[in-house]
Amino acid sequence: MDTLADDEYWMRHALILAQRAWDEGEVPVGAVLVQGGKVIGEGWNRPIGQHDPTAHAEMMALRQGGRVLQNYRLLDTTLYITLEPCIMCAGAMVHSRISRLVYGAADAKTGAAGSLVDILRHPGMNHQVAITSGVLAEACSTLLSDFFRMRRQQQKAARAAGNA
Ligand SMILES: [Zn+2]
């Protein structure tokens, strides 16, 4: 079993990847897939740049994990994400058979790991994923709120420039 210190260590890794999304102008969400203390997948949110509605951080991490393991089943892995996954990504986690999900900030609007719906612990699901939530939640949610504040300010500045 991973300790809280391990979880925080990997969540900091995911936060660095989230920053990469920010640097590319994407909503800052990062994900890292770990097996036996080793990184086998990394991802950061990039749907805009990739013109791909499925290019969420955790989808990228799962895809890379599959390539590394040469297997579409990602057994005995833990996925760390800075933000609670959406329905699509939670579905992909069930398909991939990850063992455990650790996420930072909850997402009241679209979270599919308990906030809006709970795909991963639905009693009818044939695969159950253990969930730990709220790891470095403050840092994860601050990154997101800082990003959206920055974007609102940019939009306001652009509007002001347009009216000048
Ligand atoms: Zn998603």
Determine which helix (DSSP H) or strand (DSSP E) holds 30, and give its type and residue range.
strand 30-35
Domain extent, residue 156, equals 3-163
**Is 61 in contact with 83 (CB distance < 8 Å)?**
no
- Return left, alpha or beta for 30; rule: phi > 0 is left, psi -120 to 50 is alpha, else beta: beta
Alpha carbon distance 74, 70 (integer Å) = 9
Alpha carbon distance 49, 34 (integer Å) = 26
The phi, psi pair for 16, rounded to 5°, reads -65, -40
Residues annotated as catalytic (active site), given as ranges: 58
Annotated binding site: 56, 86, 89
- Ligand 1 geometric centre to CA of 111 (Å): 9
- Ligand 1 geometric centre to CA of 57 (Å): 7
**Is 10 in contact with 20 (CB distance < 8 Å)?**
no
Q: What is the pTM of this model?
A: 0.94
The CATH number given to whatever domain includes residue 96 is: 3.40.140.10
Quote the number of domains for the chain.
1
Whose tokens are 């210190």? That residue is 5
Alpha carbon distance 110, 103 (integer Å) = 14
- Ligand 1 geometric centre to CA of 91 (Å): 9
Annotated binding site for Zn(2+): 56, 86, 89
Question: Would you write out the chain's pLDDT as a tens digit for each of its 164 residues?
Answer: 568 899 999 999 999 999 999 999 999 999 999 999 999 999 999 999 999 999 999 999 999 999 999 999 999 999 999 999 999 999 999 999 999 999 999 999 999 999 999 999 998 888 889 999 999 999 999 999 999 999 999 999 999 998 76
